[in-house]
Structure 1
Amino acid sequence: TGESLPQPRQAGDAVTAGTLNVEGALIVEVRALGHDTRLSAIVRLLERAQAEKPRLARIADRAAQWFLLCSLIAAALIGLLWWQLDSSRAFWIVLAMLVATCPCALSLATPTALTAATGTLHTLGLLLTRGHVLEGLNQIDTVIFDKTGTLTEGRLVLSAIRPLSTLSTDLCLSLAAALENRSEHPIARAFGRATLAADEVVSSPGLGLEGRVGARQLRIGQPGFVCELSGCQVPAAPQDGGQWLLLGDREGALAWFVLDDRLRSDAPALLAACQARGWRTLLLSGDSSPMVASVALELGIDEAHGGLRPDDKLHVLQRLHKEGRKVLMLGDGVNDVPVLAAADISVAMGTATDLAKTSADAVLLSNRLDALVHAFTLARRTRRVIVENLLWAGLYNGLMLPFAALGWITPIWAAVGMSLSSLTVVLNALRLTRLPSAPVARAPSVTRPLPA
């Protein structure tokens, strides 16, 4: 789990339940059942992490309860006082006090803002599944990213072709695509549709493909496997990152092909937003390839670790918590589930596994990372609106209470003032429904490789 490419397995190697056998037949000896499997261990980590998750207090509701209690006590005392002074006015003054100090605006201050902000995020493609996300985003100081399928697109594309013979780049691509189109391996999808037809294609698991295109016998895959066909020496492999495949025939090597899991176009903007806020960024991936360090370097991520198991990721998160950090986790795989459950705020990609979505606090339905950037900004706006609403509600109730107690306000005007204060809170919260300006339309990504 977490690898960007299928991993070869030989006789005697361990395989994990729930993984996909890409090609070839397997005879598997079952070593663990039910509770003892890797998937069950991940679920246990999820349950333990969820049990340790902190709960945030509902301050506004508690404040409204205490204010209501104090208002009732004050109304009773003022009523007794007015009964002694002027019994004919006592009832109407107490009624005006109760109407004027009704904590409607105070009770609406927080939920209206949260509801408006939640609706806006849903429109942008971010579905909140737990109520503490907007409040928690204002406390975050560390972000953990998964790589495959999160910062990258999770699918391989051809990024370069380097011919080694007199054949043109287009012809080399056509020959390679003819072979790969007869394979169900994930790598084959990167070559697109073939303009030539291949016959007698044979797959050698973990090595590559061999077949005939016209009168030319070809191989594509691992360099040693390809060069066995002609008996030539293995050409020097390029030093660039990515997965390199060699194409050759009976005359020798023809071309190098590089496949890469391309970064999402909006990943740099997300990392820039995190860095602008002074947040620490980490990349934790199950992928053991050099691509982990390459992605971290390209995006400017502070710390990167590859080849991690689910419990390894959880240990990193627990270490961050011991340092007093508030952590946001963004992931999509089963191996991310324990960290998603234990993080202070967790977001699963829209293409994530069902288990990852269930354990996350929010789901990125649009699969666009720029929705998170908007969420960071909207969380701060939401906090500011909540503070404004609470200040207004407190100021209104604080002023109306003495006016009503002095008999300066009739019950009718108290009802009008109470309604206007609640309406003011609601209208202020509706400012959060304004969507950010639409991004400039981007041209579609070009996946056709260019000659190096």
Structure 2
Amino acid sequence: TRGHVLEGLTKVNTVILDKTGTLTEGRMTLERIEPLGELDDDLLLRWGRMLEARSEHPIARAFGRSVDVASDITNVPGQGLEGECDGRMLRIGKPAFVAELGGYTPPRLPTEPGQWLLLGDQQGPLGWFVLNDRLRKDAANMVSGMQARGLEVILLSGDHQQVVDRMAAELGIEQAIGNASPDDKLAFVQQCQASGKKVLMLGDGVNDVPVLASADISIAMGHASDLAKTSADAVLLSSHLHVLLLALSGARRTRQIMLQNLFWAAAYNASMLPLAALGMVTPAIAALGMSASSLLVVLNALRLLRLGQPPRSHPPKHSQWQEQSA
């Protein structure tokens, strides 16, 4: 944690949340494969694994490990991956990104629940990969707790807009922005700052590095990429989001007690120094008074140890959300 975090948390009025691996558990599973041509599931899965073999994104773990790795791999943050598999140039990721490889019209994104990734080559789309992930159990509690503190909560993600909207509706977040590239995220945060907002950013991926570095206060998840942890002002050591509520409460309470101690010290010195100068207070009494003043300040500060834990969260009722994106 950098030194300005504790004081900076008291000034935050806007909280921007990433989705992938932040509000969700980041434990993605590959539910099914839907071929769009003559190629079978096994070959599509083989190519998907080859492309994702060196990626640190949570999506890569859903494909499993592969001995074979694609060559000439290019990672386009927020869009997908490109590489050569078995002599064939392929792309995996968002439909528009994949379609750019061959200059064809991208297929329409299915409306069924799940995170849909397209695999395609220069001739056309080859198949869909459908992945799922789960919302963290305390995500709803964290969002409602921040809103109860008067903070504006915004969901900012590179995922498809319909996926982002679905999660925002479940969590009670009014403003949700999807299909955001790393540059889009950075521009949005800078726009918020230009309007006078103090921004707290919570993220975990390489895609979040620019925005983590730009936010007034930034926090990376404990399982975040090394680059994200380096760019953030603080790292959340556990995966429990309710700790953020404790941090906000602790920061505000700490500031209050600091101001109380400063006021008491100033009031004591302002009243006692003139009396000591006039000889109305003996050195022994002055020393005793100074010791008592210092003890009072310490005891007041010890009240921080009594900060209560925020209430434990519970899963949202009738939660059916299972989607996640790159």
Q: Is TM (by shorter chain) over 0.5?
A: yes
Deviation of residue 306 (structure 1)?
Answer: 2.1
Aligned mate of 1:307, from 151, 164, 179: 179
Deviation of residue 274 (structure 1)?
Answer: 1.8
Aligned mate of 1:187, from 45, 53, 62: 62
The answer to whether residue 229 in structure 2 is matched with residue 357 in structure 1 is yes
Question: Structure 1 pair 332/243, CA: closer, same or farther in 2 (3 Å)?
Answer: closer
Deviation of residue 388 (structure 1)?
Answer: 1.1
Deviation of residue 434 (structure 1)?
Answer: 2.6
Residue matched to 1:342: 214
Equivalent residues in 2 for 1:245-394, closer than 5 Å: 259-288=131-160, 290-394=162-266
Contact 2:242-2:313 at 8 Å conserved across structures: no
Residue matched to 2:290: 418
Equivalent residues in 2 for 1:426-445, closer than 5 Å: 426-437=298-309
Contact 1:241-1:290 at 8 Å conserved across structures: no
Residue matched to 2:13: 141
Question: CA–CA distance in 2 between the matches of 1:439 and 1:274?
Answer: 13
Q: Which has the higher contact order (CA 8 A, sep 6+)?
A: 1
Matched residues, number: 242
Question: Structure 1 pair 394/143, CA: closer, same or farther in 2 (3 Å)?
Answer: same
Aligned mate of 2:272, from 390, 400, 403: 400
Question: CA–CA distance in 2 between the matches of 1:291 and 1:269?
Answer: 20
Deviation of residue 238 (structure 1)?
Answer: 9.0
Question: CA–CA distance in 2 between the matches of 1:239 and 1:317?
Answer: 30
Question: CA–CA distance in 2 between the matches of 1:439 and 1:317?
Answer: 30
Contact 1:241-1:294 at 8 Å conserved across structures: no
Residue matched to 1:215: none
Question: CA–CA distance in 1 between the matches of 2:199 and 2:283?
Answer: 50
Contact 1:281-1:301 at 8 Å conserved across structures: yes
Question: Structure 1 pair 399/376, CA: closer, same or farther in 2 (3 Å)?
Answer: same
Question: CA–CA distance in 1 between the matches of 2:201 and 2:312?
Answer: 28
Q: Deviations over 1:345-404 (max 9, x none)?
A: 111111111221122111100121100011111122112111211111111111111210
For structure 1, the 5+ residue unaligned runs are 1-128, 161-175, 190-204, 207-236, 246-256, 444-452
Deviation of residue 187 (structure 1)?
Answer: 3.4
Equivalent residue letter for 1:282: I
Higher Cα Rg: structure 1 or 2? 1
For structure 2, the 5+ residue unaligned runs are 33-40, 50-59, 65-88, 91-108, 118-128, 316-326
TM-score by length of 1: 0.48
Question: CA–CA distance in 2 between the matches of 1:441 and 1:295?
Answer: 17
Equivalent residue letter for 1:187: A
Contact 1:157-1:262 at 8 Å conserved across structures: no
Question: Structure 1 pair 438/295, CA: closer, same or farther in 2 (3 Å)?
Answer: closer
Residue matched to 1:92: none
Question: CA–CA distance in 2 between the matches of 1:392 and 1:310?
Answer: 48
SS at match of 1:424: helix
TM-score by length of 2: 0.65
Contact 2:141-2:313 at 8 Å conserved across structures: no
Instruction: Give aligned-pair identity as a percent.
Output: 59
Contact 2:246-2:309 at 8 Å conserved across structures: no
Contact 2:18-2:203 at 8 Å conserved across structures: yes
